[in-house]
Amino acid sequence: MSKRAVVLAGGKGTRLRPYTVVLPKPLMPIGDYPILEVIIRQLAYYQFDHVTLAVNHQADLIKTFFGNGEKWGIKIDYSLEHKPLSTMAPLKLIPDLPDNFLIMNGDVLTDLDFNSFMEAHILANNIFTIASSEREQKSEYGVLELNKVNRLVGFKEKPVLKYNVSMGVYAASKEILSYIPADEIYGFDHLMSDLINDNNFAAVMKQNCYWLDIGRPDDYMKAIKEFDLLKARFLR
């Protein structure tokens, strides 16, 4: 059975400036490879046979590098945004999406098993499935706990908070296209709000895997340090 993925590769990478002044974010190097090539190689390994790159900023550079995907044994084509549309609206420009497909950001470094993730989504008959990771964030401040009359009843010195966050990897049913307006900015946040308001809830699958958001400077620096040591986890 054919497996399809849409990789969102149109962002300007403003958080990574000045690095992204010359290169688009998906071509930022991790070890010997651009991050988007790592993703393409992973998708090919998990037997995805058709990848659509949703491109906008410096699209010609991305097209020149990846071509038709023959080098990696995978079909690559392109969906060009003529203006920035955020994360979900570009899907409306792709006319031949199958009943279920993978969506992911083009700046994610992970060892997630994309095949198992897709299979679980299809088996559960979800409209939308979010891969999530747990992140810790240490407060820079001592946190005061007050009662109703502003008396101190507790104190935490720079507490560590834990969050479940989106990994930027999703599995979707074609049904979501009915929520997406044509030629308008429409992002992940808009889709989640619309699904919640419609009582058509997205599923969240917590993942215990390596994950970094290369669009964040701290994560990018960490990826550069760790990629060669952990290369066998990302490229097989």
Quote the CA–CA distance of 34 and 62 in Å, as a whole number. 10
Q: What is the pLDDT of residue 12?
A: 61
Q: Average pLDDT in the 174-199 region?
A: 95
Q: What is the pLDDT of residue 15?
A: 53
pLDDT tens digits for range 42-78: 999 999 999 999 998 788 899 999 999 999 999 999 9
Q: Average pLDDT in the 213-218 region?
A: 86
pLDDT tens digits for range 136-164: 888 788 888 999 999 889 888 888 888 89
Confidence of residue 85 (pLDDT cuts 50, 70, 90): confident
What are the residues whose beta carbons fall under 8 Å from the beta carbon of 100, sequence distance 6 or more? 118, 121, 122, 171, 172, 173, 174
- Whether 10 shows a pLDDT value over 70: the answer reads yes
In CATH, what number does 4-133+163-234 get?
Answer: 3.90.550.10
What are the residues whose beta carbons fall under 8 Å from the beta carbon of 25, sequence distance 6 or more? 9, 11, 12, 13, 16, 35, 106, 107, 214, 215
Q: What percent of the chain has pLDDT over 70?
A: 94
Nearest to 169 by CA among 219, 120, 205: 205
Confidence of residue 196 (pLDDT cuts 50, 70, 90): very high
Confidence of residue 1 (pLDDT cuts 50, 70, 90): low
pLDDT tens digits for range 25-35: 888 889 899 99
Q: What is the pTM of this model?
A: 0.89
Kindly list the domain boundaries of the chain, sorted by start residue. 4-133+163-234
Does residue 140 contact residue 153 with C-beta atoms inside 8 Å? no
- Whether 20 shows a pLDDT value over 50: the answer reads no
pLDDT tens digits for range 161-181: 888 999 999 999 999 999 999
Q: What is the pLDDT of residue 22?
A: 57
